[in-house]
């Protein structure tokens, strides 16, 4: 059953991967009890949660989705909801660690590893290149939350300033330089007295 009929389709303007959203405090929840693969929701509150129906990946998943996407494009132009869902997943899953996060939260189940899941989503998304989506309201709400919460979440700073070895070295070097400059300034002021 399609719960998205009649929803306007607009361009998605901001993209945030699953791990970046998790660092901003978003909890991913599986909607395993839902029949509709398109029943996606985002709720802000004490616990900000992104609800996504469970996607079970099997050997035939890629061919099934490719056929459904072609069917939508041919017979239902303007109502390509499976393509929109694949675009949603491709925005959330940029790196294998994003796929691993969704697998850990039972949003994606697969008989393969997170690299294979990321690659599958990437291949499917290459066929659904449209950046317009029926999920634009959800993406807008996620973007507003992400922009308002990044400063309140220390995990963001850890990722931003210590995300890899060189970022960490640059951050520590800048902090040491700032401290030494401050000490030198204080010593210069005290020596003038």
Both 104 and 43 in one domain: the answer is yes
Is the pLDDT at 193 greater than 90? The verdict is no
Least confident of 32-41, 65-74, 113-122, 147-156: 147-156
Both 43 and 136 in one domain: the answer is yes
Residue with the larger pLDDT of the pair 155 and 20: 20
Q: To which residue do tokens 């719960």 refer?
A: 3
Residue with the larger pLDDT of the pair 80 and 170: 170
Using one digit for the tens of pLDDT, what is the confidence trace for 34-65? Answer: 667 778 889 887 788 899 988 889 999 999 99
> Which of 1, 41, 37, 44 is CA-nearest to residue 137?
41
Task: Give CA angle at 151 (148, 157), nearest 5°.
Answer: 135
* Domain coverage including residue 32: 10-155
Alpha-carbon distance 21 to 66, whole Å? 28
Both 15 and 67 in one domain: the answer is yes
Residue with the larger pLDDT of the pair 84 and 193: 84
Q: Region 81-108: what's the mean pLDDT?
A: 90
Tell me, what's the pLDDT at 1?
A: 34
Encoding tokens for residue 113? 């590893």
Both 114 and 168 in one domain: the answer is no
Helices (H) and strands (E) in the chain, counts: 8, 7
Using one digit for the tens of pLDDT, what is the confidence trace for 145-183? Answer: 888 765 556 666 777 788 789 999 999 999 999 999 999
Is the pLDDT at 4 greater than 50? The verdict is no
Both 35 and 128 in one domain: the answer is yes
Residue 3 in domain: no
**What residues contact residue 17 under an 8 Å CB cut-off, 6+ apart?**
91, 92, 93, 94, 95, 98
Tell me, what's the pLDDT at 135?
A: 80
């Amino acid at each position: 059953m399609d719960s998205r009929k009649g929803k306007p389709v607009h361009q998605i303007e901001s993209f945030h991967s699953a791990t970046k959203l998790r660092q901003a405090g978003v909890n991913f929840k599986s909607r395993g009890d839902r029949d509709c693969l398109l029943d996606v929701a985002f709720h802000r509150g004490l616990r900000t949660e992104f609800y996504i129906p469970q996607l079970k990946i099997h050997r035939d998943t890629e061919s099934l989705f490719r056929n459904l996407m072609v069917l939508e494009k041919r017979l239902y132009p303007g109502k390509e909801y499976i393509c929109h869902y694949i675009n949603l997943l491709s925005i959330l899953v940029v790196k294998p660690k994003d796929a691993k996060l969704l697998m850990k939260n039972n949003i994606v189940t697969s008989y393969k590893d997170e690299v294979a899941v990321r690659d599958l989503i990437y291949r499917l998304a290459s066929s659904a290149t449209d950046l317009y989506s029926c999920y634009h309201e959800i993406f807008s709400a996620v973007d507003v939350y992400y922009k308002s919460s990044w400063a309140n979440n220390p995990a963001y700073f850890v990722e931003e300033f210590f995300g890899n070895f060189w970022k960490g070295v640059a951050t520590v070097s800048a902090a040491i330089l700032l401290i030494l400059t401050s000490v030198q300034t204080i010593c210069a002021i005290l020596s003038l007295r």
